[in-house]
Amino acid sequence: MRTRTVVVCASLLLMLGVGTGAFGAHGLRTYVPADMLAVWQTAVLYQFVHALGLLGVAALRPRLHHRLCSASVGFMLAGVALFSGSLYALVLTGTRGLGAITPFGGVCFMVGWLLLTLAAIRGSWEDPIR
């Protein structure tokens, strides 16, 4: 995945995070119980954290192992879709079975961070100015 694509995805996820956070705080408050608002905010938090992480990946990309970096990005994006997406859907629909999808998103997040670790280990960290 190209760096531009990573930055665009991260930026859109951050923009959507602001919108979903505001919607949860203002639009859902009268329609869902407090425990479901907490679930919504968890989804927003994880979306924000991983979108910011993607911006960090984009900034470090020239130093990271290319294929491992790309795989890391893919897993982080899948994690946002599965983890945050399933929690958003759970709150909006009340379908408790959607909560079974959430752990797969969490695993994607962990795999994404592990792949980023490996991308850093196998990357190039030579100081260009000596």
Alpha carbons 38 and 61: distance in angstroms, whole number = 34
- Residue 1's pLDDT is what? 83
Q: What is the SS3 assignment for 126?
A: coil
Per-residue pLDDT of the chain (130 residues; tens, 9 = 90+): 899 999 999 999 999 999 999 999 999 989 999 999 999 999 999 999 999 999 999 999 999 999 999 999 999 999 999 999 999 999 999 999 999 999 999 999 999 999 999 999 999 988 766 5
pTM (predicted TM-score): 0.93
Alpha carbons 129 and 87: distance in angstroms, whole number = 47
- Residue 125's pLDDT is what? 85
Residues 83-99 have pLDDT tens digits of: 999 999 999 999 999 99
**DSSP conformation letters of 13-53:** HHHHHHHHHHIIIIISTTTS-HHHHHHHHHHHHHHHHHHHH
